[in-house]
């Protein structure tokens, strides 16, 4: 759902509906025009605008009606979920850094790792940590899930880089070879195909190890980590 709002939070334009992409950030058809999530308990959509004002806007998930906001042009509501607004807004705010760094830029391993951690890694890490926040997990469990998400996000991006080189458009469901065409720096550039593949496996092993304290309750998360590097699209 793509939203255009005034600086006071008034909804001017809504394109798309709940769970439907309303626009593209590049030439692919499956992209996210804004960082957002639906909080099912209150049937609300949280939309983060991290470009400068770093605010979070809350809308009714069914109608798109504005409900409240906070950030540069609003005040934090008393009933906000702890930590959620700032974390979500910071995640959205990294997009410009990603766009600036990734194209036609020479990066070392540390630089590419930081780039991807600000992009996919941040989104997946926040998704994992958000569950801990809403579930009122202990600080140790919350950090374990966030660390799991960071490892998983990095492994996911490396798998994406590999698929961009090795897969086909029919299998992947989107254009391939875009990274090379756009001069985008990737792990493959530095590590080679097999080196990148080995690194993604190491990250998945690390992510799974983060979940040891959860016992059998983390079986699904462990399976999800393995799926990330085994997927074909």
Domain with residue 109: its CATH number is 1.10.600.10
- Whether residue 86 is contained in a domain is answered as no
Confidence of residue 32 (pLDDT cuts 50, 70, 90): very low
The string of DSSP letters for 126-137 reads HHHHHHHHHTT-
Question: Rounded mean pLDDT of 189-199?
Answer: 93
| Better pLDDT: 164 or 55 | 164
- Looking at the fold, whether 9 and 114 belong to one and the same domain comes out as no
- Looking at the fold, whether 177 and 109 belong to one and the same domain comes out as yes
Question: Rounded mean pLDDT of 9-30?
Answer: 44
Domain end: 56, 79, 102, which one? 79
Q: Maximum distance among all alpha carbons in the chain?
A: 51
| Better pLDDT: 188 or 89 | 188
- Whether residue 131 is contained in a domain is answered as yes
Domain end: 79, 112, 127, which one? 79
Residues spanned by the domain of 74: 1-79
pTM, 2 dp: 0.58
The string of DSSP letters for 159-203 reads HHHHHHHHS-HHHHSS--SHHHHTTB--HHHHHHHHHHHHHHHHH
Question: Rounded mean pLDDT of 179-194?
Answer: 78
CA distance to 9, 36, 59, 135, 160, per residue, from 2 (Å): 14, 10, 12, 29, 25
HSE value, Cβ hemisphere, 13 Å, CA-based, for 155: 26
- Helix 219-230 with 187-209: angle, nearest 10 deg: 160
Confidence of residue 44 (pLDDT cuts 50, 70, 90): confident
Backbone angles phi, psi at 180, to 5 degrees: -65, -40
């Amino acid at each position: 759902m793509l939203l255009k709002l005034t600086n006071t939070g008034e909804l001017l334009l809504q394109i798309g509906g709940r769970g439907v992409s309303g626009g593209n950030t590049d030439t692919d058809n499956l992209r996210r025009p804004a960082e957002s999530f639906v909080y099912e308990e209150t049937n609300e959509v949280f939309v983060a605008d991290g470009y400068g004002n770093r605010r979070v806007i809350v809308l009714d998930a069914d109608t798109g009606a504005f409900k409240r906001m906070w950030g540069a042009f609003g005040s934090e509501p008393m009933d906000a979920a702890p930590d959620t607004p700032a974390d979500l807004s910071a995640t959205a705010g990294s997009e410009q850094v990603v766009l600036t760094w990734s194209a036609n830029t020479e990066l070392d391993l540390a630089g590419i790792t930081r780039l991807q951690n600000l992009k996919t890694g941040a989104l997946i890490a926040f998704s994992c940590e958000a569950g801990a926040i809403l579930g009122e997990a202990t600080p140790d469990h919350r950090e374990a899930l966030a660390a799991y998400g960071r490892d998983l996000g990095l492994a996911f991006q490396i798998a994406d880089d590999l698929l961009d080189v090795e897969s086909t458009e029919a299998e992947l469901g989107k254009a391939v070879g875009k990274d090379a065409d756009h001069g985008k720096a990737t792990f493959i550039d530095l590590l080679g195909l097999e080196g990148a593949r080995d690194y993604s496996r190491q990250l998945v092993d690390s992510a799974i190890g983060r979940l040891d304290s959860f016992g059998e309750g983390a079986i699904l998360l462990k399976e999800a980590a393995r799926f990330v590097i085994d997927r074909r699209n």
